[in-house]
Structure 1
Amino acid sequence: MLLAERLAADRPRPGRTRMALALLRPSLRAMRLAPLAGGVVVALALAVLPNAVGLTLSLPQAVLFLRGTAVALALGLAFVLDDPATATTEVLPVSARLRRLVRLAPVLVVAGAVWEISWLTMRQSTAGLPADLGWEGAGIAALTLAIAAWTSVGGVAAAPALLLLVLAAAFAPDAVAPFPAPRSPQWGETHVVWAVVTALAVIALGAAGDERNG
């Protein structure tokens, strides 16, 4: 019953939709877009430069470049929830979840488009590129955003946490490595885990309240 009431309370209504649209422009103005722009530039460079210079990548190399793309995008996303205008927006008659959605929707569209462009670019020159690699990108981004949403310092905590994850993964045993080699026996199971991690991180992101801003 409580779950049904909460879902009903968060259901978009005409007034809330208008409020969300009204919040969009000031939210974009207040957002720290420089880190995201830097992440997009690095991500596209990693995907496009090998083809531009005539470099033929093996499958493991292409996967490595795409993982670099995912990390670059996640680092850019780490700071989009940082909101210097919280003291103003928190008194508006909209939930923290809706305010967060207004900030995330446009930047996630951009990040998703950059990932798709990068993956398609790599696929043109590298045969057998696995599509489920996208779960790694989604999981990394969702984890980074969840950490940013649940901490008082946002991206200042989320970005180093992401880098520590990548560093730890580099030294993890093959049997439990979160970034396995393509076509390895662990590939399929690991990406099922990444799908679960993505779902849990999204739930955590949606459940985060205003504590990080207090």
Structure 2
Amino acid sequence: MPVAATVRVPLAATVRVLLVPLARTLPWRALSAAGAVGLLLAAVPRLLGDEPDDWLALNLLRAAALALAAGLAFLLDDPARHTTTPVPVRRPVRQLLRVVLVVPFAALFWTAAVLLVPTAVRPPVGAVTLEAATMFTLALALSAAAIRFREEPRPGTGVTAVLLIGAVLSPLLLPDCWELVVTVTDERWAAAHERWGALLAAALAVFAMCGMEPVRRRWAAGPLKPSRT
């Protein structure tokens, strides 16, 4: 009796088919709201009309990055994940596609936010971009960890709370040797951004590891017993 051959669809073709449906399911409302708040914060030095302050401009730009990071915390939300588990594409690919789709939006947002800050008080672009990239990646890493270890379909709200609490408490609790939030004139500026780079690398590693499919244990479903007739 002939055995039906298994049809293997190339990954690239599957990815192309998934792009449009994934783009429709992205949390565009949350991202748009977070982006609007972030741009408004970045524009405050121009809106004030007075002589802008470099300390205020730097921290408002950081707040703008944090606002978009809060929106990105909802990127991996999938209310239907427990009803659509059997899919032809594994979780790492699905999550990476979501990130790829939102990268142009994040890049456009950050470019606009930086340009909204007056040139006279604009902080070093490379350094603050590193801070923003770390915040964005940390939001994704925390979301991926919540999905991986808690099977949480909507981790966005909890991750946003963690990000905001961490942003408030880290300047108060971190020792001087681990200080991250410093001013441009502070002698610890370069050392702080080395730590930002290390934190970015750690967040990328967590996102990659937590994106893997969990290995189902055989004993979780109980041993199979032969039926008796």
Distance (whole Å) between structure 2 residues aligned to residue 83 and residue 194 of structure 1: 30
Please tell me whether the aligned partners of residues 30 and 85 of structure 1 are also in contact (alpha carbons under 8 angstroms): no
Greater CA deviation, 50-59 or 39-48?
A: 50-59
Counterpart residue number, 1:98? 93
Distance (whole Å) between structure 1 residues aligned to residue 168 and residue 145 of structure 2: 22
Greater Rg over alpha carbons, structure: 2
> Where do 5+ consecutive residues of structure 1 fail to align?
1-13
1:18-45 deviation per Cα after TM superposition (whole angstroms, max 9, x unaligned): 2112112222222222221111101111
**Aligned counterpart in structure 2 of residue 19 of structure 1, from 14, 23, 27:** 14
Counterpart residue number, 1:157? 158
Q: For residue 159 of structure 1, report the CA deviation from its aligned partner.
A: 0.7
Q: For residue 50 of structure 1, report the CA deviation from its aligned partner.
A: 3.0
Q: For residue 59 of structure 1, report the CA deviation from its aligned partner.
A: 1.4
Q: Kindly indicate whether residue 66 of structure 2 is the aligned counterpart of residue 65 of structure 1.
A: no
Q: For residue 175 of structure 1, report the CA deviation from its aligned partner.
A: 4.7
Please tell me whether the aligned partners of residues 58 and 123 of structure 2 are also in contact (alpha carbons under 8 angstroms): no
Instruction: Say if 1:127 and 1:205 are closer, same or farther in 2 by CA, change over 3 A.
Output: closer
Q: Kindly indicate whether residue 33 of structure 2 is the aligned counterpart of residue 38 of structure 1.
A: yes
- Where is the helix percentage greater, Structure 1 or Structure 2? 1
Greater CA deviation, 52-61 or 194-203?
A: 52-61
Matches within 5 A, 1:45-194: 45-87=40-82, 90-126=85-121, 129-151=124-146, 152=150, 153=152, 154-172=155-173, 174-194=176-196
Instruction: Say if 1:51 and 1:123 are closer, same or farther in 2 by CA, change over 3 A.
Output: closer
Q: For residue 84 of structure 1, report the CA deviation from its aligned partner.
A: 2.2
Instruction: Say if 1:185 and 1:36 are closer, same or farther in 2 by CA, change over 3 A.
Output: same
Secondary structure of the corresponding residue to residue 57 of structure 2: helix
Please tell me whether the aligned partners of residues 114 and 122 of structure 2 are also in contact (alpha carbons under 8 angstroms): no
Distance (whole Å) between structure 2 residues aligned to residue 131 and residue 110 of structure 1: 19
- TM-score scaled by length of structure 2: 0.78
Letter in 2 for 1:187: W
Counterpart residue number, 2:206? 204
Aligned residue pairs, count? 198
Q: CA RMSD in A?
A: 2.1
Instruction: Say if 1:123 and 1:53 are closer, same or farther in 2 by CA, change over 3 A.
Output: closer
Please tell me whether the aligned partners of residues 77 and 145 of structure 1 are also in contact (alpha carbons under 8 angstroms): yes
Please tell me whether the aligned partners of residues 45 and 57 of structure 2 are also in contact (alpha carbons under 8 angstroms): no
- Displacement over 4 Å in runs of 4+: none
- TM-score scaled by length of structure 1: 0.83
> Where do 5+ consecutive residues of structure 2 fail to align?
1-8, 215-229
Please tell me whether the aligned partners of residues 43 and 68 of structure 1 are also in contact (alpha carbons under 8 angstroms): yes
Distance (whole Å) between structure 1 residues aligned to residue 44 and residue 62 of structure 2: 15
Q: Kindly indicate whether residue 227 of structure 2 is the aligned counterpart of residue 195 of structure 1.
A: no
Distance (whole Å) between structure 1 residues aligned to residue 30 and residue 125 of structure 2: 28
Letter in 2 for 1:167: V
